[in-house]
Amino acid sequence: MAHLELVRVAPEEPTRPRPDHQIVARLIERGSTVLDVGCGDGALLRLLARDCEARARGLERDKTRARACVGRGLAVVQGDAECDLAAFPSGSFNYVVLSRSFQAFEHPREVLRQAARIGDHVIVSIANFAHWRARMDFLRSGRIPRPQVQTPGWADSEILRPCSIRDFAELARDMRFTIESAVPLSGGRAGAPFAQKLWRPNWFAEEAVFLLAP
């Protein structure tokens, strides 16, 4: 695997940070080491380096995006998380982040297992397919709906594993993670964090960001 250098902060993004990225930045302690799995255009890496002074690195499957990130001075390597996470040493990072990437994997459980091996904490953001509007769409059409989140990032994502907030929470507990905190998002706005009471965010949140401890 290619050697990864620390992030050098590039010029600030002209657009407002993505809502789930803002939540991720709040969950990460200043000065931490972070691996962003499926880092896309590197927006989260820039945010964490700037606002959290994080030593942030990225893994991106798309070769064009990975090269663009490197061109902006970001520490990103091109690779497939489902294969390449196994090459990282155990305990390499304080946090491993799966920001809108978890549901795009063919084998998400294995990716989550590797993330837990590599990081002290794992942060995952998911689209909630049990949102009330998604339920209504399913009743009307009989087809699994697209995510209700109307922000860039979900529209062009390939979701292979639709799940609800309850589904993900049960998966995390089945894999013996502790859900330290979870933050629901609707309309780009964060709600009250939750850890145990799932019914309300499962109905009303469009997406959620989970902080997990292995």
For residues 39 and 2, the model is more confident at 39
Give the whole-angstrom CA distance, residue 96 versus residue 212.
10
Least Cα distance to 171 among 111, 97, 81 occurs for: 111
Over range 56-66, report the average pLDDT. Answer: 95
Lowest mean pLDDT among 90-99, 121-130, 195-204: 195-204
8 Å CB contact between 25 and 48: yes
CA 120 to centroid of chain Cα atoms: 15
pTM here? 0.85
Residue 97 has pLDDT above 80, yes or no: yes
Sign of CA dihedral 185, 57, 64, 42: positive
Q: Quick one: what percent of the chain has pLDDT higher than 70?
A: 82
Token digits of residue 211: 């902080």
What are residue 93's DSSP bridge partners? 119
Residue-wise pLDDT for 143-179, tens only, equals: 665 655 544 444 445 666 788 999 999 999 999 999 9
Look at residue 91 and tell me whether its pLDDT is greater than 90: yes
9: pLDDT strictly greater than 90: no
Q: How far apart are CA 208 and CA 193, in angstroms?
A: 10
Question: What is the mean pLDDT of the segment spanning 62-66?
Answer: 94
- pLDDT at position 149 is 53
> pLDDT tens digit string along 174-214?
999 999 999 999 988 999 888 778 888 998 999 999 999 98
When the pLDDT of each residue in the chain is averaged and rounded to a whole number, the result is: 86
Quickly tell me which residue has 């860039």 as its tokens: 152
pLDDT of residue 4: 52
Measured CA to CA in angstroms, residue 209 lies from 37, 48, 137, 176, 182 at distances of 15, 16, 24, 18, 5
Q: Which is higher by pLDDT, 81 or 133?
A: 81
State the CATH architecture for 33-205.
Answer: 3-Layer(aba) Sandwich (3.40)
Residue 147's pLDDT is what?
58
pLDDT of residue 132: 72
Please report, for the chain, the start and end positions of each structural domain, with discontinuous segments joined by +. 33-205
In this predicted structure, the answer to whether residue 43 has a pLDDT above a threshold of 60 is: yes
